[in-house]
């Protein structure tokens, strides 16, 4: 796995500038990279607020010096002892989306921030944003707990991932933020006592304003990937992560090449391109890493250790056995997780 530091650092700066211009805080989601050294590219650990999505990640970053960590996934009562340990060392945010979770919150013997997750159309987790009375009551009940320091609302418009292009991204963004505005109008709970955290990489990359939000919480923007390029969240020159895979078999007669690089490296996440699953895009190699995409050279099949690439026969004819192909994956977050942090930093 190759990480192009120059591109990643530029992506980090661009997002910081977006947040500053929109007058919102930026809480990068560190689930994308899960790496302490890469985390330091975002700024000094003690002063950088972050989001994560597991206790294991929270513990890793806590140990390395981060002091404001939001667990942006609904809490699990079975992890109470971990929450307590974290809350005693740093500013911990927990996410809830049901009244039952308050028992766990109350049991944490340390101050915590509590974010109520809302669903504005993605359909994964969160209270439906139209359940005004229930959300209102939940906020009041949470506020009554003596260890709750800050209350917030948390949204993730993950449905932006099915958008293609700025207009479609803007439509998801507007739908989600106008639902939020409508909710805030109707809540009896005071807006100024709520911290509102929104964000996903497509909207945070392409939109310029986040009305109603106090902070944005994108993650994938540090590396981007084939999926983000297809969505229109980035262009190819911003993609900062790729896999270098040796060619182990060539079949010009069927227009295919096989690399040693499989599901355990790429994950089986894919993008549908012309109705076909594509797991990665082969890039032109360059002296400092990789350049533009190699036309018509895509990763179209994966088994555990094998990756099958469709490529024109005339290109295959020039490939030597063992030659290394640089491939941008469909989904950087899963590749980074699979790599267990073993990557080569370039540039």
Binding site for a copy of itself (CB under 8 A): 31, 53-54, 73-79, 97-98, 100-101, 104, 123-126, 158, 246, 248-250, 254, 258, 260, 263-264, 267-269, 301, 303-306, 308, 320-322, 324, 333-334, 337-338, 340
Half-sphere exposure of 27 (CA within 13 A, CB side): 23
CA distance 324 to 165: 32
Tokens 């182990």 locate to 248
Chain centroid to CA 98: how far? 24
> Closer CB to a copy of itself, residue 43 or residue 252?
252
Tell me the C-alpha distance between 259 and 302, whole Å.
10
Query: Least distance (Å) from a copy of itself to the CB of residue 211?
Result: 26
DSSP 29: B
Quick one: 113 or 269, whose CB is closer to a copy of itself? 269
In the complex, the smallest distance separating the C-beta of residue 18 from a copy of itself, rounded to whole angstroms, is 23
Residue 256 phi, psi (nearest 5): -135, 150
- Min separation Cβ 47 and a copy of itself, Å: 26
If the CB atoms of residues 73 and 328 are measured against a copy of itself, the closer one turns out to be 73
Give 100-159 as a 3 state SS string. Answer: CHHHHHHHCCCCEEEEEEEECCCCCCCEECCCHHHHHHHHHHHHCCCCEEEEEEEECCHH
- Count other C-beta atoms under 10 Å from residue 295's C-beta: 12
Tokens of 279: 């797991």
Closest distance of CB 118 from a copy of itself, Å: 12
Minimum distance of a copy of itself from residue 167's CB (angstroms): 24
Q: How far is the CB of 29 from a copy of itself (least distance, A)?
A: 10
Cβ closest to a copy of itself, residue 24 vs residue 282: 282
166/306 with CB nearer a copy of itself: 306
Residue with smaller CB distance to a copy of itself, 195 or 250: 250
């Amino acid at each position: 796995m190759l990480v192009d530091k120059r591109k990643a650092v530029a992506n980090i700066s661009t997002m910081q500038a977006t947040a500053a211009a929109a007058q919102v805080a930026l809480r990068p989601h560190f689930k994308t990279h899960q790496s302490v050294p890469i985390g330091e590219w975002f700024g000094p650990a003690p002063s950088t607020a972050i989001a994560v999505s597991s206790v294991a990640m929270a513990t890793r970053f806590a140990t390395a010096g981060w002091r404001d960590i939001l667990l942006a996934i609904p809490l699990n009562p079975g992890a109470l002892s971990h929450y307590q340990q974290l809350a005693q060392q740093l500013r911990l945010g927990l996410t809830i989306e049901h009244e039952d979770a308050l028992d766990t919150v109350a049991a944490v013997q340390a101050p915590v921030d509590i974010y109520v997750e809302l669903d504005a159309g993605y359909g994964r987790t969160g209270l439906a944003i139209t359940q005004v009375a229930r959300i209102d009551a939940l906020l009041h009940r949470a506020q009554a707990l003596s260890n709750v320091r800050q209350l917030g609302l948390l949204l993730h418009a993950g449905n932006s991932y099915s958008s293609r292009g700025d207009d479609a991204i803007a439509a998801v963004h507007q739908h989600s933020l106008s639902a939020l505005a409508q909710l805030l109008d109707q809540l009896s709970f005071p807006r100024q006592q709520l911290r509102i955290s929104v964000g996903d990489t497509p909207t945070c990359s392409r939109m310029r304003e986040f009305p109603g939000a106090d902070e944005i919480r994108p993650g994938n923007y540090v590396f981007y990937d084939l999926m983000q390029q297809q969505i229109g969240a980035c262009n190819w020159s911003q993609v900062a992560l790729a896999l270098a895979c040796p060619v182990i078999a060539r079949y010009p007669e069927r227009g295919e090449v096989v690399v040693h690089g499989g599901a355990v490296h790429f994950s089986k996440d894919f993008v549908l391109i012309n109705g076909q699953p594509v797991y990665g895009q082969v890039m032109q190699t360059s002296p400092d890493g990789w350049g533009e995409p190699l036309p018509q050279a895509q990763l179209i099949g994966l088994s555990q250790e094998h990756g099958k690439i469709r490529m024109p026969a005339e290109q295959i004819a020039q490939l030597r056995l063992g030659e290394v192909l640089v491939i941008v994956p469909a989904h950087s977050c899963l590749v980074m997780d699979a790599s267990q942090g073993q990557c080569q930093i370039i540039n």
